[in-house]
Structure 1
Amino acid sequence: MASSSSDIGVILDELTCPVCFDLYKEPTALPCGHSFCRVCIETFWENRKEDTGCVCPNCREVFPQKPKLEKNVIVANLVENMKLKKGKVGLGVEIGDAEHGNVNVKEGVKSRGRESYCELCNGEAAKRCVPCEILCCEKHLKPHQQKGHKLVDPEVKIEELRCTQHGKPIQFYCKDDESLMCLMCTGGQHQEHKVVAVEIAHVELKGVLAAMYPHVSQSMQSVASQLQQVQEEEEQTENSSRDAEDRLEEKRMLVCQFVNVSVDLMKSEINKRKMEKLSLLGKQRKKLEQQMENLRKGKSTMDKAFQELEAVCFLQGSKNMLKRLRTMSDFKSMKRTPLPVLHFSKEEKTLDGLITLNKKFMEKIQKGPEMVYLQHPEDLFLAKHPEKDYLHHPEHLFPVAHPEKFDLDQNNLRNHYGRTPSLDPNSAHRLIDISRSLRTATLTEFENQYPKHPDRFDFHTQVVSSESFSSSRHYWEVDVRSSCFCRIGICLNSMERKRRGRGCKLGRNPESWCLEKRDNEYSALHNDQCNDLFVPRDPERFGFFLDCEAGELTCFGDSRVLHVFRGNFMDPVKPAIGVWDDGDSVHFVRLVK
């Protein structure tokens, strides 16, 4: 009676090497009873390279000495008989193959490509069977599912699911090295490592991601909110700038109109006074010209009389001549009074004043290094001398006084620059417990089960905020009443967090600036330099005003300025907290604008 396809499938399962997943080649049995290909078991032992003896890949039984490998004649004969039985059917004839879930498969067909057609019926492929290395449609997929074969999407390459070193299917995950392995990889350097099945690692990693998901979602909401604020500020800035330009154009027209009208009026007045003086001068000129004409005639008469040689004729005309000459002599005593010179100094001074004002205006605008262009419209209200501003409205972005002239009253700072930072759990040392509000840090005796993260402080009980600042102005406060030994300040986002020693501690490196509270003593620290501070009474809060463009961090103890740090704060910096006494806690104060 011929064997059914299901019988052949059962026999094939028993004659398959658990290492290479092929029919046995020179099968050998270990003392524990499990069989393997001679080459597979020897390769497995060679890759382990330990002195703990030889291990069975199936049951993990350890043999202190390498077992003598002898050919399992019975299994070898069964393999040969199975090959003969399959050979009688023929390579090109469909047979029931248990290796493929008792699905009729053409012998010798292995799909290693990326085609999307079922290799049994040429229908649309739904999945790829990893052990069988074939594509299957929905109809021919069921036997593989019942068999428990691993199924992946048709686009996945088989090579991606195999060990790059041994070419065997990936079955395990090393937690210590965070690497994928096949059965042969479990020996060697991974022997003492924590190795689990890929399915277990898959579930565990999903759990870690699920725990991190709320924080990522919250961070996304926070970033989205900040992004919206930035976009609104950008739009407000564009509108304010456009409105300011429109108003300046209107003022330009008014100024030009004023100058044109003023110059026209002054020119009209100058022309009027010119015409009046020219009229008077014209009358004087005509009178003098008349006098000149009369004198010319008298001179001509005298010239003729001097030429008259006859005495009688000379005397006959002398009477009339002398009468006319006596009349002309009256001009000798006539004096001309000069008219006043026209002056336009008043008009010129008016124009000179406009020119001087314009020059000062331009010079003040062009003094870029000495001026601060406000990034927030409300900053105008914080200037000590608003009367010196060009415009006194918050919607105008015009230059005002240098930062040192800003009012450092904390109420104003809270209203206009108040921030409430949130602590970043990914940066917290494992002994620091973070509250659900992400605003309180408490030093505990027991380690929190935080996941590994490149931003985490590994050796110092410190934590930084999720927010980083690199521009504009910001003010926040930290409540230190519940702490006896702490450091509060800022640090560059690039500050080292993984090494031991003082270099990773707040205030002990060039990348951090902070205030220290140790019982009733206070100090300011930066780059391992400590400045003792005189504080008359213990403050309940530390306040920090960061002006990134001015490069200043002003530190307050309640309402008193304790210290001012100066540095380059255009690189991203984060508010930072360090706590060193068990049970102590500090928290960011919520500032509501």
Structure 2
Amino acid sequence: MRCVPYETLCCERHVKPPKHKRHKLVEPEMKVEDPGSTEHGNSIHFYCKDDESLVSLMCKAEHQDHEVVPVEVALVEFKGILAANYPPIVESIKKVGSQIEQVHQEVRDTQVSGREKEERLEGERREMYRAVDEKVNRMKRWLSERQSVKLSHLENQRENLQQEMESLCEEESTLKASLKEMEAVSFLEGYKDLLCRLESRSHFSTTEPAPPRLLDFLVEEQNVDSLIQINDNLLQEIQKELVKQVQIADLEFNTLKRLYGRTPSLDPNSANPWVKISRDLRTATPTETHNPYPEHPDRFDRCVQVLSSDCFSSGRHYWEVEGILAAKYPPLVESIKQVGSQIQQVHQEVRDTQVSGKDKEERLEGERREMYRAVDEKVNRMKRWLSERQSVKLSHLERQRENLQQEMDCLCEEESTLKASLKELETVSFLEGYKDLLCRLESRSHFSTTEPAPPKLLDFPVEEQNVDSLIQINDDLLKEIQKELVKQVEIADLEFNTLKRLYGRTLSLDPNSANPYIKISRDLRTATRTETHNQYPEHPDRFDRCAQVLSSECFSSGRHYWEVDVRSSSSWRIGICLNSIGRKGKEGWLGRNPESWCLRKYENKYYTVHNDRGTLLAVPGDPERFGVLLDCEEGEFTCFGGSRVLHVFRGNFLVPVKPAIGVYGVGDSMRFCSF
């Protein structure tokens, strides 16, 4: 209650005493006549800090044990408290305004950053499209060039075989005419000339005609659906005509043989020294050595020939010589058939090459579409992720802005109240409302005596850095694309540098497997054979007798290429082994057991060794580096000397295998190369 005469805010103790009984008591906020006048004729001059009340001169004696100060002093002191003990509300408003602007700027930056990252992602999409197109188109050009070379060779082969066929048909026609039209005597008279002409043809060489050298492109042409049947109708007609002529000739020959048949004998005195005559004087055989015949004026000294002992000057005489056309030379008809078959084979090879080329182009186009799909999937997934993160961030920023705006509204309201209190209230009413104003102001966090903490704006640096790192997927994805494409190409068709770039590995040595006479470098890449025993701790993986060491890496899938520098070693082994290889005694030598495969150098010779079986290799020069390629899925372990393939091991490499090296000369060292 407020005592109007005293203009004091009275507690229960002051209301009850008799001196207030005749005083007017009102609610504190009720306005009455000038509080400076009372029934006592006294005005308010003092303020009691203990009771936090206004005190008139008459009531001052009742507050003699309290701290009572003049109203003017209390007014100055309390205004100073508001001014000195709390941060200026204007500064708080400025700070909150700055924080609101910071939130607005963060929103703008987030939106701009999102657009920039989307543009970068779209740029990466276009770049990866371009890279896919470049690689696919290069492979298509490569296949087209290979196909063109093959078709050109096949066309040359076809032309040569066609010329061969025409020549054979011409000889076949000559032979048919000779057998059909000539009489016996004229045939025999023309036989020598015919034989010379036939022998001048390559078809009648005494050796079997070699098959045409068709290009072997088995790497490209693995799937041949069917072979076209040889069209041998013409050949069959030729055979029928020949058989018909042989039957007629047989009838004439039987008569001729019966009437005029003779059995001549050979004259040894006329035989060339390089011709051996049989005991029955009927067979002449050319020899590689000189036969010691006696000199005779009838002997041929240069011509490999022999005369008959028989001499004719009249009559008709028929004799036969075996092997001249039938036994000594391949049948003409068979030669024609073989060449015809080879021509058909060339035609089929051309058709297969064209079909295979189309199939491979379709596969490459399918790979292109699949790579496009993979690029789209990755980029779109990243864009969705980025959009979701941006939405979350903007949502948090919006809530932060709303909270700060509410803070700003409250500060402005308090600032207005404080200004009105300090500027407009009279002295007594100010002191009466001071405590309440102070309580209300102290209830606001802005007026704590500590510096207000800045707003907790959401910080997404880690996520945004992740976005940046995810955007930098160009190289990795392009490697994946290239690997997908080269899966369709055999290792033998890859350029050596491409193979190293795609599958190169930098291996490290496993110290726990090192033989005690092998020292491992600090970078775990060099193994050196020492003369003294190295103090290694015992380990079940350690080779106790074999001067070898394994790699820390283990492979059971994919393709992996690594190289070993051997310039400082004269006797060594490079290979792979199963983890089950023996470590005790001599059973663990690389290549001496079924669990290991290796390339070996010993006494300046190179070998491949597996299961204690070695094969000598011809290695040009003396390479300083040897490489190996492990293709687990294909089950191949390929050894390279420089860029040349030396040998290919085949086995089951889907079980874990470890690279291994052995260095055997004291002071020698070997090193895994880096990629």
User: What is the TM-score when the length of structure 2 is the normalising length?
Assistant: 0.30
Structure with bigger helix share is 2
Structure with bigger strand share is 1
| Greater C-alpha radius of gyration | 2
User: What is the TM-score when the length of structure 1 is the normalising length?
Assistant: 0.34
Higher relative contact order (CA 8 A, sep 6+): 2
